[in-house]
Amino acid sequence: MFDDVRSRRLFPPTASGAEMTRTDVALRLSELTDLDLAKLPDDAVSQVLQMIGELNPSSSCYESNVETILSLGAVIWTFPPHMDRVASGV
């Protein structure tokens, strides 16, 4: 998705080496948007499909993981009307 330099800049490890916090995630989302790296809705739907396809259906947490991915994907459908301009590149 990103070259190594960009990945290190956008997704650096936290200072403590711990998992990302809510603030870390919000900052990264904002940075992706500012750098025009957010996915278009069609691409996001394809990514949701790919992520679900990579899950192991025999896993005990399969249904929970699918539900989580789909609930995140539902954001795609809640974009305000002005987001149509973004999708069309205007």
pLDDT of 2: 46
The reported pTM is 0.60
* 14: Cβ contacts below 8 Å, ≥ 6 apart: 20, 21, 24
Residues 34, 9 contacting (CB under 8 angstroms):
no
More confident residue, 3 or 13: 13
Extents of the domains making up the chain: 4-34, 41-88
Residue 87 has pLDDT above 60, yes or no: no
Inter-CA distances, 10 with 4, 17, 38, 59, 83, Å = 10, 15, 13, 31, 24
pLDDT for 63: 96
Mention every residue, 6+ apart, whose C-beta is less than 8 A from residue 89: none
